[in-house]
């Protein structure tokens, strides 16, 4: 599938309609605000620090993770296909004073011009929103430097993830808008690792993002990766 085809306009429109609420900590993106410190900590630890590194955030949305990475002293670029979300990201950057370079483009198109340019590439909660995730994974591999790090996060595909990721999150707890996720686009970790390996990445570590209903907070744990999970990969050095 070519980069021009690897876009689901329905997904772009869906996020564009609620773009102005990206930075509302109590709005539709509340879960991202809650888990952002967790994923930032994992990325920073597995990358041996972020200060001074060139980082690309693929599918950056309104810039929640991108700004956090920049706050750690990284040189951050964010790309997304939803122009409305990028406008919000740029506006928030002006308000916060945190510098991030944003571009409205696909991972594939950006990789064609910036191959091997980044120390770290992140692609969080994005693979389940594109028709061809393997194409995005290959683009992320191309974009990172030899010896660099790539991070993917998405949803596992099983009964538990369906019940928690869709039924509970969208309909019972209403953490995210109904229709945010499509179960058939969830990816088993083994599937993601196989694609990453084929693209030329070496999976290094995996962790799950879990919700503790008793303390009403999220936490990272590698005890299971049944629902939300993050995979840390590395591109072999030359």
Domain boundaries, the chain: 7-233
Residue linked to tokens 């430097």: 145
Please tell me whether 179 is known to bind a ligand.
Answer: no
Contact (CB, 8 A) for 221 and 179: no
CATH of domain 7-233: 3.40.50.150
Please tell me whether 73 is known to bind a ligand.
Answer: no
**Where does the chain have alpha helices with state H?**
9-17, 30-46, 64-71, 83-96, 107-114, 133-143, 159-162, 189-199
Burial of 54 from C-beta contacts in 10 A (0-12 / 13-18 / 19+)? middle
Tens digit of pLDDT at every position of the chain (238 positions): 444 568 888 878 887 888 888 999 988 888 889 899 999 999 999 999 999 999 999 999 999 999 999 999 999 999 999 999 999 999 999 999 999 999 999 999 999 999 999 999 999 999 999 999 999 999 999 999 999 999 999 999 988 887 877 787 766 767 677 777 787 888 999 999 999 999 999 999 999 998 777 776 889 998 889 989 999 999 999 7
Please tell me whether 80 is known to bind a ligand.
Answer: yes
β-strands 75-80, 54-58 pairing: parallel
Indicate yes or no: pTM above 0.85.
Answer: yes
Burial of 62 from C-beta contacts in 10 A (0-12 / 13-18 / 19+)? buried
Please tell me whether 59 is known to bind a ligand.
Answer: yes
């Amino acid at each position: 599938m070519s980069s021009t085809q690897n876009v689901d306009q329905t997904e772009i429109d869906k996020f564009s309609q609620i773009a102005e609420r990206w930075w509302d900590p109590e709005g539709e993106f509340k879960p991202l605000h809650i888990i952002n410190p967790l994923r930032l900590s994992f990325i920073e630890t597995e990358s041996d620090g972020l200060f001074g590194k060139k980082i690309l955030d693929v599918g950056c949305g309104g810039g929640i993770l991108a700004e956090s990475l920049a706050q750690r002293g990284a040189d951050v670029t964010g790309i997304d296909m939803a122009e409305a979300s990028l406008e919000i990201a740029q506006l928030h950057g002006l308000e916060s004073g945190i510098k991030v370079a944003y571009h409205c483009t696909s991972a594939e198109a950006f990789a064609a011009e910036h191959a091997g340019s980044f120390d770290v590439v992140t692609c969080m909660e994005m693979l389940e929103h594109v028709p061809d995730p393997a194409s995005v994974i290959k683009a992320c591999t191309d974009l990172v430097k030899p010896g660099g790090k790539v991070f993917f996060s998405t949803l596992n595909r099983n009964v538990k993830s369906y019940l928690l990721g869709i039924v509970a999150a969208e309909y019972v707890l209403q953490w995210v808008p109904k229709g945010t996720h499509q179960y058939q686009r969830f990816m088993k970790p083994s599937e993601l690792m196989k694609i990453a390996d084929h693209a030329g990445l070496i999976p290094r570590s995996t962790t799950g993002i879990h919700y503790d209903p008793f303390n009403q907070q999220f936490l990272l744990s590698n005890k299971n990766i049944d629902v939300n999970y993050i995979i840390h990969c590395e591109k072999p050095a030359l």
